[in-house]
Amino acid sequence: MNDALLDWYAANRRDLPWRRTTDPYAILVSEVMLQQTQVARVIPRYEAWLKRWPAPAALAAASVADVLAEWVGLGYNRRALRLREACALVSAEGWPDDLTELPGVGPYTAAAIGAFAFGRDTVALDTNARRLFARLGRELAPRPGEGRLFNQATIELGALVCRARAPRCDACPFEPECAWHGDTPRKRAPAVRFEDTDRWVRGRIVAALAAGDELPAVAPDRLARALDGLVRDGLVRRDDDVVRLG
């Protein structure tokens, strides 16, 4: 099955900038940016980020305010702070063998960096790979020396073919062996508009501060709640009536 997977990947892979490097810092940046953010939005931001801060030491030396301003629009601003903290540790001590020792790096990100940067034969189980293996009815593993391509292939197959909605089973190299016969329909909870969430207010506050604009015009209780959370998370500082990025 590994041969079928790698043959499919060779014929269908997207040319993404983080796949052209084995630099662990560049791969860490891409993995953090790609968390819950679409690939098309990440590509230009990733390239601009590496141009501005090409190495861990450069990012570690950047101010919190500059890092947050560069991150505006990518969402979940705490990711930017954890990335900066991880780079401070790497620039001081080097890359640890156990990559989960780095701030903000969990099992998936550690496995991805291990495979893509260090050539480890780990299995990086992102949402796409988990869904692929669940539908297939078994987990696959890389053969020795295959870790980088194997993980890129499983993630790509899950993203392009074995999609959560409208999977393209006719294009899947595993279709003859696949155990999946369709998801059981599930009732979905009514959707909440993103604009009605505290996360939206937090993002607007950070974007406004980065641009030097006025704070967003939202209900005072929503603004206060979002500001309190941002201060707690170290993203924003508040000195009397003056609010600025951390």
Q: 72 φ, ψ to 5°?
A: -50, 130
Query: In the chain, what's the furthest Cα-to-Cα distance?
Result: 66
Which is nearest to 14 in space by CA: 145, 157, 137?
157
CA distances from 33 to 41, 106, 178, 221, 223 (A): 9, 14, 32, 30, 26
CA distance 20 to 24: 12
Active centre residues (catalytic): 31
Residue 68 tokens, joined: 């947050």
Which is nearest to 112 in space by CA: 38, 12, 19?
19
